[in-house]
Amino acid sequence: MHAQLYESVKPLDSVVQFLTVTLKELGWYRRKEELVMDVGCGPGHVTFQFILPPFPDVEKFVAVDYSSSMIETARSNYFHPKIEYHVANFEEKSDLKRWNGQVTKLVSIHCFNWLKNQKLCFQNAYDLLQPGGEAAFYFVLVSDFYAAVVDIYNDPKWRGYFEGVDSRVPESHYKKYDSTYYRKIVEDIGFDVLLCRDELKVNPLSSEKEAKDLYYSLTVLVHHVPQNLKEEFRNDLYEYVLKNGGILEDGTLVHRAVSLELVVRKRK
């Protein structure tokens, strides 16, 4: 992912709805929190603008991301005296152990779709939480974008650049996992489920530029494309998204994805 470009892309309407309406309805913002953690904070704009504000009295806020460039951007552009930005791999217990048992609220937006061992990561979230602590996850299961990545990955024009490269299309896209799959995982770990639903989210995009910026910023494949071909790759990826459903009959450009909304509580 590209820190600066991804930073310029505004969060999808469905993400804002989840953070500002759904979690509020679940009573998330009613009390002072000891430690709130944002997992997969990226360049920090969503953390700063949407996740931190509902917790004005939080004692400590920790935002983590695997990418050092994302964390550098977050520290530079979204400084806040209450936020600590850290490089941490959520699939590595050793990166997280300093916060085990301390977190009262954990939020993760568009992160778990990048993780290979999701079961381990849900267990890591459980270990981080205090008894009675809650976690909220929002991530894509199946999408037109993923279908486009699969198409361009296999396109004879481009596939020579991607030999041995992980496209980072999640298992959920291929195996069509739904909310029941994830409910079982978290319940087996020991969570109580407050909300678990998968739903097709259709988010309108304002322009071709916004759409191209969004999809280009999300794919890891571009790192393997020669500099002089990046713009051509960007355009081809966009066309594949349109082919797979990224435009409505009336011409509206959209981001379409089956997304999971999952809110859980660690039993006391």
**CATH number of the domain enclosing 185:** 3.40.50.150
What is the predicted pLDDT for the residue at 248? Answer: 97
Positions of the chain with pLDDT lower than 70, given as ranges = 1-8
Mind listing the pLDDT tens digit for each residue in 176-192?
999 999 999 999 999 99
Given the structure tokens 């778990």, which residue do they identify? 112
State the residue range of the domain holding 65: 3-142+170-203+257-266
- Alpha helix locations (H) across 78-229? 93-96, 118-128, 144-154, 171-175, 179-189, 208-218
In contact, 142 and 136? CB cutoff 8 Å:
no
pLDDT, tens only, 26-64 = 999 999 999 999 999 999 999 999 999 999 999 999 999
Is 226 part of any domain?
no
pLDDT at 191: 98
Residue 131 lies in a domain: yes
Closest CA to 187 of 103, 100, 265: 265
Number of domains in the chain: 1
Which pLDDT does position 10 carry in this prediction? 82
Q: Per the domain annotation, does 73 fall within a domain?
A: yes
Global pTM reads 0.95
DSSP 8-state symbol, 229 = G
On whether residue 123 sits in a domain, the answer given is yes
What's the pLDDT at 225?
97
